[in-house]
Amino acid sequence: MITLLVGTNRPNSRARFVAAFYAPLLNALGAKTQFLDLADLPADALEGALYHNGGKHEAFNSLAARLDASEKVVFFVPEYNCSFPGALKVFIDGLPYRGGLRGKKVALVGLGTGSQGGSLALSHLTDILMYLNSAVLPLRVRLPFIDKELTAEGQLATPLLEQLLREQAAAFVAF
C-alpha cells in the first residue's frame, strides 16, 4: 500500500489536487493507494497528541495508523516560508518515535509558487526523513509556479511536469 500524504492542513489545497492527479499514475502501475490528508489533522494535535499525550489522541492515532499500514509514502509538500508546513512537522513529531516513518520508502513532490518548486521545503523534509531512517527516492519532483500550472480541473498545464510525475511514480513502484 502506498500512502499519498497531503502535507498541509489547508482545505482543498493544491497539494491535494496534485495527489489526486498522482494516484491514477500509481494505480495504472498496479499499486494500491490511500490518501492521508492533513486537512484531517485534529485542530488540537499540537497540545493533544505530542509529548506526554503521545498515543492518547484517538483522532490523531487513526491518521498515524493509516500511515503505519503502508509500506511507502509519497509526500506532496507545498513550500511555506522557505520550508514545509508546520502541520506536517506536528504530524511527524506526533508519530511514535522509532516507528512512524522508520524504514518506510518515501517519494517527495514539492509545490511552490516561485521558480524553485518547493526545493527548500523538500531539502528540510529530506533531512528529517533521513534522520528518521526512511529511504528517500532520489528522484524528487519540484512543481514551480504551481498557482499558474494547476488548472481548475486539477491537471497540470505543462506536459513536462506530468512526465516528471509519471517517471517518478514508475521509479517509486520499482523502489
CATH (domain of 157): 3.40.50.360
pLDDT band at 152 (very low <50, low <70, confident <90, very high): confident
Percent of the chain with pLDDT over 70: 95
Domain that holds residue 161: 2-174
Taking the model in full, what pTM does it have? 0.94
**In total, how many domains does the chain have?**
1
Per-residue confidence (pLDDT) for residue 57, from 0 to 100: 76
**pLDDT of 55:** 67
Q: Is the pLDDT of residue 108 over 80?
A: yes
Q: Which of 135, 143, 140, 134 is nearest to 162 (CA)?
A: 143
Give the mean model confidence (pLDDT) for residues 89-104: 89
